[in-house]
Structure 1
């Protein structure tokens, strides 16, 4: 592997971390018991987590459809995060946040596997470790202080 295989592209790094901002804002708002008029941060955090979990599954879909032949198992794995996210929205808030947390960690394991197999860019694993670590920390914080 060369440095170009493992160096995270700057746009992916910056945009990825920008996506962590709502996790941090609403997790800390939960921990500090901050409330906006008529809004609680926990359901906003859960909805955002579900949306991003679905998005992350879509990243694997995009990688899967580039393969020839298309791997049906990989496509199925790419749809699971969206289904789990939807199920999380149907749960009581804490159960939904916990389900998202577990799903993010499970998807990270799958993403790292695809990097080791050479089926995802080498830099993707490093980016996912950083971002999922931050997201998992935010969700755990919200669960601890809810």
Structure 2
């Protein structure tokens, strides 16, 4: 009886130990399997490492392409903006709609201003050179000064003629009824220009040129307003702007050239000096006429 009981106890102990060993072995295998799968997931194998090496240049190329394409887009946008701005400037200052005859004759009309302006600048250089070195490059100082004085009335007189011509255009527009009839308002613009231009011939050259510059600027402003309001052709405003710019630049160059010789060239007589000289001449002629009359009367008395 005791033997059977002891045998059963031993059998139960062995069974329970075997079951626990089996459970522990199964648990170890499962834990090892989890570690193995985790290690495989963490540890890079040969293929993923090759894939990363293969994809890295492609990614770098994509980044470089994206940055270069962004730069190209910026350059394209910048060039497009510059082209559009250049087109706006070209369209703004375009003279394509101006009749060819008016364009060619108008451009030819500013040539005398350019020529006289360049000659004034060159003669001023000759006068300064003669004052410093004793002689000019092509002309002597006296010759250059004489030529300069001969050039002055040509430039001022031509400016007066052009100003009168610009005023007369408004009379023609009124007679043609361009944009309607405006009567005295439009006729006044034609009369004002010669009324301002021709008295400048009596002024010293510097004051005459400044006065004509202001007159050209005012006439351009009036003509631009007339073109914008439909009282003149729509292209007339830009046409007048280009011509007025050339004339104004020529006058400014002339004034700068004359400023360089202000202390060298002999001063010109002012309008006051000219009037006083005229009065003195008339007085002298009257005195000479009275003396001749007295002499004639004396001869008659002696003959009697």
Give the TM-score normalised by structure 2: 0.44
SS across alignment from 2:176: coil
Q: Is the 2:213–2:251 Cα contact (8 Å) retained in structure 1?
A: yes
Greater C-alpha Rg? 2
Shift of 1:19: 0.3
SS across alignment from 2:189: helix
Give the equivalent residue in structure 2 for 1:9: 99
Runs of 4+ in 1 over 3 A off after TM superposition: 34-39
Among candidates 227, 238, 241, match of residue 126 of structure 1: 238
Give the equivalent residue in structure 1 for 2:282: none
Task: Please list, as runs of the form range in 1=range in 2, the aligned pairs for 1:65-76 lying within 5 A after superposition.
Answer: 65-67=175-177, 69-76=181-188
Shift of 1:36: 9.3
Q: Is the 2:123–2:145 Cα contact (8 Å) retained in structure 1?
A: no
Shift of 1:125: 1.0
Q: Mean alpha-carbon deviation: is it higher for 61-70 or for 84-93?
A: 61-70
Per-residue CA distance 1:56-109 (angstroms, 9 max, x = gap): 111111112223544211101111111111111121111111111100000000
CA distance in 2: counterparts of 1:57 and 1:144, whole angstroms: 28
Task: Please list, as runs of the form range in 1=range in 2, the aligned pairs for 1:53-92 lying within 5 A after superposition.
Answer: 53-67=163-177, 69-92=181-204
Give the TM-score normalised by structure 1: 0.89
Root-mean-square deviation (CA, aligned residues, Å) is: 1.8
Q: Is the 1:46–1:89 Cα contact (8 Å) retained in structure 2?
A: yes
Number of aligned residue pairs: give it.
141
- Higher relative contact order (CA closer than 8 Å, sequence separation 6+): 1
User: Is residue 120 of structure 2 the alignment partner of residue 30 of structure 1?
Assistant: yes
Give the equivalent residue in structure 1 for 2:159: 49
Q: Is the 2:160–2:197 Cα contact (8 Å) retained in structure 1?
A: yes
Q: Which runs of 5+ in 2 are unaligned?
A: 1-95, 125-143, 259-304
